[in-house]
Amino acid sequence: MASVAATVAPLSRARRDGVEWRLASPLALVYAAFFAAPLLLLLAISFFDDTDLTRVGGSQWIKFFTDPFYLSVIGHTLKLGAVTVLATSVLSFPLALVFCASRTGVQRLLLLIIIMPLLTSVVVRTFAWIVILAREGVINQTLLALGLSATPLPLLQTEFGLVLALTQIEMPLMLLPLITVMRTIDPNVLDASRALGASRWRTFFQVILPLSLPGWVAGSTLVFASSVTAFISQTVIGGGRLVFLPSVIWQQSMVVYNWPFAAVAAVTLLVTVLFGIGLLGALGAHFARR
């Protein structure tokens, strides 16, 4: 009987695995048709020459990665994602603590406020920030009325204004995973920390923060990927003074019509996003081991 059971178990496991692969095959086909194939086509286009599409080579790649301007664009794009992740992280942890400490009715209201930006078009949100950041906008008029500034501050077409807008736009992507993980923390662990004499700050840094790292990593990944590729916000709020990889792709493909060079920029943007995601994942894994 034992030998029969040992023989049947692998067969049933193989049959189960086969069923799982068959169930996953439609998604795999869709992935191959709508993501992998266009990506491979984009990569192939990047090796064509702009003046002669019959010639294949790496001239566009050499042109992109030997130009200091485009190298600085890659750096500015990474910096924008990193600063936005930092800003949303600093604001999200206190808000998540307030949410977890509130009553059920207050949590429902806070949840509605948190997801409200997701229910609004990104174009509407971006143009609303123009009203707020303009020279005659809410922030400048308030500063002038309070006497804190003699002249309107230049907030539009600046990195500070863009980060400020992206922080509000991307905040739900950080808050929702963070709240989900923080709500699973056992209250007895927090009570034990306080009973052992730890202050609230020490409890936060040594108990709450390590236990909520998975939610932070998930939220940071979403915020980084979304802010780096936020073409509308970067274009409308940043204007022509701030150049990032999405605007380079649009300019080269729709204005200059240099499709091979635009493909190089697009592949570079994809690699940049994957690099940031991998770095955030490695950082989260490092702190989790500690």
CA angle, residues 91, 93, 99, in degrees to nearest 5: 105
Is residue 18 situated within a structural domain? Answer: no
Q: What are 51-108's pLDDT values in tens digits?
A: 666 677 778 898 899 989 999 999 999 999 999 999 999 999 999 988 888 888 888 8
What CATH number does the domain containing 174 carry?
Answer: 1.10.3720.10
Is residue 25 situated within a structural domain? Answer: no
Is residue 41 situated within a structural domain? Answer: no
Is residue 153 situated within a structural domain? Answer: yes
Q: What are 14-47's pLDDT values in tens digits?
A: 455 556 677 778 887 887 778 888 888 888 888 8
Is residue 146 situated within a structural domain? Answer: yes
The alpha helices in the chain, defined as continuous H runs, are: 2-31, 37-45, 59-65, 68-101, 104-115, 122-133, 138-146, 159-182, 187-195, 200-203, 209-211, 213-228, 231-236, 245-250, 259-289
Structural domain tally of the chain? 1
Which pTM does this prediction carry?
Answer: 0.82
Is residue 72 situated within a structural domain? Answer: yes
Residue-number span of the structural domain to which 115 is assigned: 57-289
